[in-house]
Amino acid sequence: MPKILKWLCLLAALLCSGLAPAAVVVSSKLDSEATMLSQMVRLLLNANGVPSIDRTRIGATPVVRKALLTGEIDLYVEYTGNAGFFFNDVADPAWKDLRAGYERGAQLDRDANRIVWLTPARANNTWALAVRSDVAAANHLATMSDFGRWVAGGGKVMLACSAEFANAGTLRALEKTYGFTLTPQQKIVLAGGETAATIGAAAAGTNGVNTAMVYSTDGGIVAAHLVLLADDRHQQPVYAPVPLVREAVLTRYPQIAAIVKPLMESLTTEELQKLNARVQIDGESDQEVAADYLRSRGLVK
Amino acid sequence: MAEALGMWAGALRAQRIDRLGTLLTLAGAAALYLLPFVVVKANRIVPGEPHTLAAVLPPAVTLACTVCLALAAAAALLAANARLRLAAALLALVAVLLCLAAAGDALSPAGNRVVRIAPGAGFWVLLLCLGLLATDAITRLAPRPGRRVLLLFAFLAAAVLALASGAFDHLSIMREYAVNQERFGRELRQHVALALGSLAAAVVVGLPLGIFCHRVPRVREAILGTLNVIQTVPAIALFGILMAPLGALAAAYPLAERLGIRGIGAAPAAIALFLYSLLPIVANTVLGLKRVSRTAVEAARGMGMTDTQVLARIEMPLSLPVILTGIRVVLVQNIGMVTVAALIGGGGLGTFVFQGIGQTAIDLVLLGAIPIVVLAFSAAVLLDALVEVLDRGGH
């Protein structure tokens, strides 16, 4: 046999050996929370004998979503409320409720794309307002209704928020629902829209800022001594983390659903804030925090 | 006062006082006294408290550092000897770096892993001034290409040794490195592999294409025009365009998928970089071949050489320096552009940059950005040296 043929055979053999077990390709978006959650799922699958491949942090939502639809990845953690954008149906009131939004999204995605929504977390990562704890204590602020009453009654508020939040209707919708109006002098609009900046402004009291636009699971909320105001009239869509998996993969490994369930059920908004703080504020690696959480909850030994 | 200024202006005009030195000294002095040397942040995402050098370190250390900087300033202003200028710049550079390491140690609370000590604007400006002084001195020394490469490796080795010594471990960027240590090596290799791989592919395709363009002037405009258009497509848009066909290919042929040809990951990034690389290589090949004198080619033909022989023995060797200049442009450009590959799962140092932007953790951004700058700089020095060696050989 000529030498070149021998080498080609060897190469083919090498390639084929790489094909053997169809491991589950676990992916994630770029942000630290989504990556941490996907790492938790991946580590948990590994611990329960389901082989997995780490392809986390591959891109923004459209990139990851497309990769799942084309079958390039098998599983990633999405947020329930985003289904409103995927299926061009943002107005549906279902998205404002965790259970209803989950069921609606799960059904749409299964029918249209053969994608299964596993158990959602009982957490919500949505737009929200947070106030300095001293201001909250002095004025008894715990919910958005409290906040609305306080501002309408002449409370000295100064909000830091992104241009997107101020202009795209989110703030106006909150004002309408909770019966308050912020004058232009009562808000500082930051061009960037990073919550780290708004939280930093409220924590330091820059220009008298005492209220910040935040994501409700932001790690900075606790570290900056802010109090998250509950959306008690469910005005905002609920964005609950939920692992999405391709049906074909779930058929191959049906145990995935049961493996992931206790993990997702253990996660709350407060728990996510604490875990996010370790990644975002303390600078620990997402994988380290994920592994640590699984151990502390007894989900892996 | 006016008299002193007048004297200074006179000395400047008479070129007894170095112009660049004056500029660097003024900038350096401003940095030392007006800008913060280090910034102490309560955690990695909040803006920090600025500290000057004198406020952080004991007076004796501050004095020693200031003396070193004053020596560098004196050399920059007055010394004509390039070796002296280089030595003074390096001495001051070492002093500033030692001060930074000492400040990191002094300000880090024991056992606290949240507080970050970051280099301040003053440090960066001093670093820039001393770096410029040193590179200017090296340019004046005009070392041979081999020496320059040797110097580059000496600097890189010194930097790696200094970082590995642990002296800088208390600084914010090194803290980010410690957390991401495992991934850093992998992303660095991926970054270099993507930049070099797409360059190699572009050379293999671009060189023959350039020769073809040279030989057949009718197609030249069409090919160069097409490549020009590709060059204007933004990288992100090109990734988006490539995602669909590559994804379809992977879905249709599982083997392609196993080989890494997917809509997401390194494949679209490598293809996009390859397409961007073609224009400089093809254009420089055409230019290089055009530069070859007609008399040389005609003499070779007169000696009975075939077309292939003329190309291999006359045209290619004579145009190589120009072609290499094109390759240098591509390599430096690729090292920068690979950064955006992180947005489609291609990996590379850009992952740290975009992750850092997402968390507004500037130290994490720098962990990705600084090595990219060092890589691009090193690539430029290496290829410049190569071009010079070949150019000299050619004449």
Q: Is residue A176 part of a domain?
A: yes
Q: How high is the pLDDT of residue A4?
A: 58
pLDDT at A116 over 70: yes
Burial class of residue B162, CB neighbours in 10 A (0-12, 13-18, 19+)? middle
* CB atoms B44 and A32 under 8 Å: no
Number of A to B CB contacts under 8 A, please give it: 95
pLDDT digits (tens, 9 = 90+) for B246-284: 877 777 777 777 666 777 778 888 999 999 999 999 999
Q: Is residue A86 part of a domain?
A: yes
User: Do A242 and A120 share a domain, yes or no?
Assistant: yes
Residues of B in contact with A200 (CB under 8 A): 45-47
pLDDT digits (tens, 9 = 90+) for A246-301: 999 999 999 999 999 999 999 999 999 999 999 988 888 899 999 999 999 999 98
Q: Which long-range contacts (CB under 8 A, 24 or more apart) does B23-28 make?
A: B24/B73, B24/B76, B24/B129, B24/B132, B24/B133, B25/B73, B25/B76, B25/B77, B27/B125, B27/B128, B27/B129, B28/B69, B28/B72, B28/B73, B28/B125, B28/B126, B28/B129, B28/B130
pLDDT at A8 over 70: no
* CB atoms A66 and B355 under 8 Å: no
Q: How high is the pLDDT of residue B15?
A: 67
Closest CA to B277 of B215, B214, B235, B218: B235
Domain boundary among A180, A205, A228: A228
User: Do A75 and A176 share a domain, yes or no?
Assistant: no
A58: CATH: 3.40.190.10
Q: What is the pLDDT along chain B (395 residues), one digit of tens a residue?
A: 677 777 777 777 766 788 899 999 999 999 999 999 999 988 887 778 999 998 999 999 999 999 999 999 999 999 999 999 999 999 999 999 999 999 999 998 887 878 999 999 999 999 999 999 999 999 999 999 999 999 999 999 999 999 999 999 999 999 999 999 989 999 999 999 999 999 999 999 999 999 999 989 899 999 999 999 998 988 878 887 887 788 777 777 777 776 667 777 788 889 999 999 999 999 999 999 998 888 988 899 899 998 889 998 889 988 998 999 999 999 999 999 999 888 888 889 999 998 888 777 889 999 999 999 999 999 999 999 998 888 776 55
Q: Is residue A160 part of a domain?
A: yes
Q: Is residue A233 part of a domain?
A: no
Q: How high is the pLDDT of residue A192?
A: 64
Burial class of residue B116, CB neighbours in 10 A (0-12, 13-18, 19+)? buried
* CB atoms A30 and B44 under 8 Å: no
How many domains, chain A? 2
Q: A1 vs chain B: nearest CA distance in angstroms?
A: 25
Relative to beta strand A211-215, strand B49-51 is unpaired
User: Do A243 and A101 share a domain, yes or no?
Assistant: yes
pLDDT digits (tens, 9 = 90+) for A119-129: 999 999 998 99
Domain boundary among A206, A228, A250: A228
User: Do A27 and A115 share a domain, yes or no?
Assistant: yes
Task: Report the residue from A63, A72, A282 with minimal CB separation from B250.
Answer: A72
B 115-174 residues inside an 8 A Cβ radius of A: 116
User: Do A91 and A224 share a domain, yes or no?
Assistant: no
Q: A8 vs chain B: nearest CA distance in angstroms?
A: 15
Residues of B in contact with A282 (CB under 8 A): 43-44, 113-114
B 35-54 residues inside an 8 A Cβ radius of A: 43-47
User: Do A42 and A182 share a domain, yes or no?
Assistant: no
Q: How high is the pLDDT of residue A14?
A: 47
Task: Report the residue from A19, A72, A203 with minimal CB separation from B46.
Answer: A203
CA nearest B45 in A: which residue? A281
Q: Kindly state whether B81 is in contact with chain A, defined as any CB-CB distance less than 8 angstroms.
A: no
Domain boundary among A228, A250, A275: A228
pLDDT digits (tens, 9 = 90+) for B355-384: 888 777 889 999 999 999 999 999 999 999
Q: A105 vs chain B: nearest CA distance in angstroms?
A: 25
Q: Is residue A103 part of a domain?
A: yes
Q: What is the 3-state secondary structure (H, E, C) of chain A?
A: CCHHHHHHHHHHHHHHHCCCCCCEEEEEECCHHHHHHHHHHHHHHHHCCCCEEEEEEEECHHHHHHHHHCCCCCEEEEEHHHHHHHCCCCCCHHHHCHHHHHHHHHHHHHHHHCEEECCCCECCCCEEEEEEHHHHHHHCCCEHHHHHHHHHCCCCCCEEEEHHHHHCCHHHHHHHHHCCCCCHHHEEEECCCCHHHHHHHHHHCHHHCCEEEEECCCCHHHHCCEEECECCCCCCCCCCEEEEEEHHHHHHCCCHHHHHHHHHHHCEHHHHHHHHHHHHCCCCCHHHHHHHHHHHCCCCC
Give the C-alpha distances (Å, rounded to integers) separating B137 from A55, B72, B85, B90, B251.
Answer: 47, 12, 6, 11, 57
Can you tell me the distance from the alpha carbon of B74 to that of A65, in angstroms, rounded to the nearest whole number? 61
Q: Is residue A301 part of a domain?
A: no
Which of B241, B264, B353 to substitute to test the interface with A, most A CBs within 10 Å?
A: B264
User: Do A75 and A152 share a domain, yes or no?
Assistant: no
More confident residue, B204 or A22: B204
Residue type, A34: A
Q: How high is the pLDDT of residue A193?
A: 61
CA nearest B41 in A: which residue? A281
A193: CATH: 3.40.190.120
Counted residue by residue, chain A has a size of: 301
Q: Is residue A82 part of a domain?
A: yes
User: Do A118 and A242 share a domain, yes or no?
Assistant: yes
User: Which two tokens mark B53?
Assistant: 């050098």
Task: Report the residue from A59, A223, A285 with minimal CB separation from B179.
Answer: A285
User: Do A112 and A8 share a domain, yes or no?
Assistant: yes
User: Do A131 and A271 share a domain, yes or no?
Assistant: no
Closest CA to B259 of A153, A15, A80: A15
What are the structural domains of chain B? 2-142 (no CATH), 178-394 (1.10.3720.10)
User: Do A148 and A195 share a domain, yes or no?
Assistant: yes
Most confident listed range (A192-196, A202-206, B10-14, B98-102):
B98-102
Q: How high is the pLDDT of residue A300?
A: 93
Residues of A in contact with B111 (CB under 8 A): none
> What per-residue string of b and e applies to B195-225 under the rule 16 or more CB within 10 Å gives b?
bebbbebbbeebbebbbebbeeeeebeebbe
pLDDT band at A17 (very low <50, low <70, confident <90, very high): very low
pLDDT digits (tens, 9 = 90+) for A70-79: 888 999 999 9
Relative to beta strand B116-119, strand B38-41 is antiparallel
Q: Which domain holds residue A195?
A: 127-228
Q: Is the ipTM of this complex over 0.85?
A: no
* CB atoms B345 and A67 under 8 Å: yes
User: Do A207 and A251 share a domain, yes or no?
Assistant: no
Q: Is residue A104 part of a domain?
A: yes
